[in-house]
Amino acid sequence: MIQLQNLKEEDYRGERFSEFHRDLMNNNDLLGLTQPELIYRLHMGYLEGGADIIETNTFNGTTLAQADFDMQEFVEEINKANVACARRAADEMTQRDPSKKRYVAGAVGPTSKTCSVSRNVEDPSERDITFDELVESYGQQIRILYEAGVHIILVETVFDTLNAKAALYAYQEFFEDKQRLPLIVSGTLVDMSGRTLSGQTCEAFLISIQHANPLCVGLNCALGATHMKPFLTNLSDLCPFYVHAYANAGLPNAMGGYDEDPQTFAKNSMEFVTESLVNMVGGCCGTTPDHIRALVDAIEESGAKPRVPAARTHKLMLSGLKEFIFYDNIPFVNVGERCNLSGSLKFKRLMVKEKNYDAALEVAREQVQNGAQVLDINVDDGLIDGVEVMGKFLRLLTSDPDISTVPLMVDSSNFEIIKAGLKCCQGKCIVNSISLKNGEEEFLEEAKVIKKFGGAVVVMAFDEEGQATEVEGKVSIAERAYRLLTEKVGFDPTDIIFDLNILTIATGMEEHNPYAKNYIEATKLIREKLPYCCVSGGLSNLSFSFRGLTDLRESMHSVFLYHAIKNGMNMGIVNAGALPIYEDINTELRDLLEEVIWNNSSDGNHVERLLEYAEKEKQKGSKKSEGKKQQEWRTLSLEERLKHALVKGMGEFIVEDLMEAMTQYPGPLEIIEGPLMGAMGVVGDLFGAGKMFLPQVIKSARVMKQGIAYLEPFMEKKEGAQNNGTILMATVKGDVHDIGKNIVGVVLKCNNFEVIDLGVQVPWEVILQTMKEKKVDVLGLSGLITPSLEHMVNNAKQLESNGYRIPLLIGGATTSKMHTAVKIQPVYSGPTVHVLDASRAVGVASALLDPNLKYSYYEEICEEYEELRKDYYSQQSEKKLKSLSDARANKPKINWNNYEAPKPNIEGVKVFDSQDLRELVNYIDWNPFFSMWQLRGRYPNRSYPRIFNDKRVGEQAKTLYDEACQMLEEIISKKSLTAKAVIGIFEGRSDGDDIEITKDGNTYKFYTFRQQEVNAVDGPSLAMSDFVHPKHDYVGFFAVTVHGAEEIAAEYERNHDDYKSIMVKALADRLVEAYAELLHYKVRTEHWGYVKTESLSSEELIHEKYQGIRPAPGYPSQPDHSEKLTLWEVLDVKNKIGMDLTESLAMTPAASVCGLYFCHPNSRYFNLGPISDEQVEDYARRKGVSVDEVRKWI
Could you give the residue numbers annotated as active site?
A: 735, 737, 788
Among the listed residues 750, 724, 744, the one whose alpha carbon sits nearest the alpha carbon of residue 850: 724
Among the listed residues 128, 108, 201, the one whose alpha carbon sits nearest the alpha carbon of residue 161: 201
For 1044, list phi and psi in degrees, rounded to 5.
110, -15
Report how far residue 1041's alpha carbon sits from residue 1178's, in angstroms, rounded to the nearest whole number: 34
For 722, list phi and psi in degrees, rounded to 5.
-65, 140
Q: In what order do the strands lie in the sheet with 496-499?
A: 534-536, 496-499, 456-460, 430-434, 408-411, 374-378, 333-336, 571-574
Among the listed residues 170, 159, 162, 158, the one whose alpha carbon sits nearest the alpha carbon of residue 115: 162
Pairing of strands 466-467, 462-463: antiparallel
Among the listed residues 357, 381, 537, the one whose alpha carbon sits nearest the alpha carbon of residue 459: 537
**According to DSSP H, which parts of 691-753 are helical?**
694-711, 739-750
With residue 909 as reference, give the H or E element that holds it: strand 908-912
Among the listed residues 222, 164, 203, the one whose alpha carbon sits nearest the alpha carbon of residue 321: 203
Q: Which residues 6+ apart lie within 8 Å of 627 measured at CB?
A: none
Query: What HEC string does 367-383 produce?
Result: HHHCCCCEEEEECCCCC
Q: How would you class 457 by CB atoms within 10 Å of its CB: exposed for 0-12, middle for 13-18, buried for 19 or more? A: buried
**According to DSSP H, which parts of 567-676 are helical?**
587-598, 606-622, 638-648, 654-664, 668-671
Helix (H, G, I), strand (E, B) or coil at 876: helix
Among the listed residues 190, 224, 187, 225, the one whose alpha carbon sits nearest the alpha carbon of residue 207: 187
Give the number of other Cβ atoms within 10 Å of residue 786's Cβ: 20
Total residues belonging to the chain? 1194
Say if CB 669 and CB 720 are below 8 A apart: yes
Residues in a beta bridge with 252: 258
Helix (H, G, I), strand (E, B) or coil at 512: helix
Q: How far is CA 583 from CA 334, 418, 520, 586, 770, in A?
A: 20, 39, 20, 8, 52
For 732, list phi and psi in degrees, rounded to 5.
-65, 165
Q: Which amino acid is at 258?
A: Y
Report how far residue 1124's alpha carbon sits from residue 294's, in angstroms, rounded to the nearest whole number: 85
Chain-centroid distance of CA 184 in Å reads 41
- DSSP assignment of 414-433: SHHHHHHHHTT-SS--EEEE
